[in-house]
Amino acid sequence: MRDLTREILELIRRTSSDLPADVEERLRAAIEKETPGSAARGALETILKNVELSRQNSSPICQDTGTPIFYVRHPEGWSTRKLREQIRTALAEATARSYMRPNAVDAVYDKNSGNNLGGDDFPYIHFEEVEGDELTIELMLKGGGCENVGAQYSLPDNRLGAGRDLSGVRKAVLDAVHKAQGQGCAPGILGVAIGGDRGSGYLKSKEVLFEKIGERNPDPKLAELEEQLTQEANRLGIGPMGFGGGTTVIDTKITGLSRLPASYFVTVSYMCWAYRRRKMIVKGEQVLYD
């Protein structure tokens, strides 16, 4: 089996230092909505300068290089044990090269491992066997500021007047955006899972964030709710960094899951503007990056 350590190191470098084009485009568009001279506009201008500079210098866009979340989809015959080792080796090397901050802290003994490796679940790696002959590795870096403002609601919620339907989902999500204020580094992207259990809800609310900005859910009901939530979240006026302004959320992604008859969870994962996700594709001898 091919050793992909070097290629994965390059994936990590790109993810940490090079913001995807679809995210950058939305941030540029958001500038026009803010008043010249306002703190909100100043924040967006600084953000975009930072994006360019990080790309030039191969330095982290944000010092919180987050939880590394890998999704590996491999054809038959690849060893997931070896791939896991390669990912871990690449991540430790990326940390030594300052592409990543040492971010794995043992919660019981309060000790930072220094190399971003912390037990079986840090980094988080999801493996899935797929048909065809392409191996893809997707990486998302999700910082702690936005992770901390994620929220899960169990419907019905009397305080919000939210019942067990899409109207209730809407209320829960808007409440989560309001509670987050600027703490999640607005303007953010919302990943929403409807249903599932408490565990799968959070997992899927993150997974749905891998979808490109502006891509709508194929289910027209969910597509409509995605659009509506982005618009209504922006009416809250929280704005970039919570300074007040027109852009609080740049997109919303929703996924629907099965639930138990007794449970109706709405789970919101908030992604900061520094939405770092990249993909590499291995096809035969070729390695391509998005």
Binding residues for other proteins, rule: CB under 8 A, are 39, 42-43, 46-47, 49-50, 53-54, 57, 59-65, 98, 100-103, 105, 110-112, 114, 143-145, 148, 160-161, 171, 174-175, 178, 181-183, 185, 232, 235-239, 241-244, 272-274
- Shortest reach from residue 15's CB to other proteins, in Å: 14
Query: What is the token pair recorded at 135?
Result: 């191996």
Residue 42 CA to residue 35 CA, distance in Å, equals 9
Given a contact cutoff of 8 angstroms between Cβ atoms, the answer to whether 216 and 226 are in contact is: yes
Cβ of residue 217: shortest distance to other proteins, in angstroms? Answer: 21
Nearest residue (CB) to other proteins, 186 versus 203: 186
Q: Could you tell me which residues are beta bridge partners of residue 287?
A: 282
Least separation in angstroms between CB 236 and other proteins: 4
Closest CA to 93 of 3, 204, 6, 197: 6
For residue 46, the Cα-to-chain-centroid distance in whole angstroms is 21
The whole-angstrom separation of Cα 105 and Cα 113 is 6
Of 210 and 243, the one with the shorter C-beta distance to other proteins is 243
Q: Which is nearer to other proteins, 42 or 75 (CB)?
A: 42
Closest contact distance (angstroms) between CB of 128 and other proteins is 30
Task: Provide, rounded to whole angstroms, the least separation between the CB of residue 198 and other proteins.
Answer: 24
Burial 69-83 (b: 16+ CB within 10 A, else e): bbbbbbeeebeeeeb
How crowded is residue 273: how many other Cβ atoms within 10 Å of its Cβ?
27
Q: Which is nearer to other proteins, 60 or 191 (CB)?
A: 60
Give 175 or 207: the residue with its C-beta nearer to other proteins.
Answer: 175
Rounded to the nearest whole angstrom, what is the least distance from the CB of residue 87 to other proteins in the complex?
A: 20
Judged by CB, which is closer to other proteins: 18, or 207?
18
- Kindly give, in sequence order, each residue whose CB lies less than 8 Å from that of residue 122, ignoring residues fewer than 6 positions away: 67, 68, 104, 116
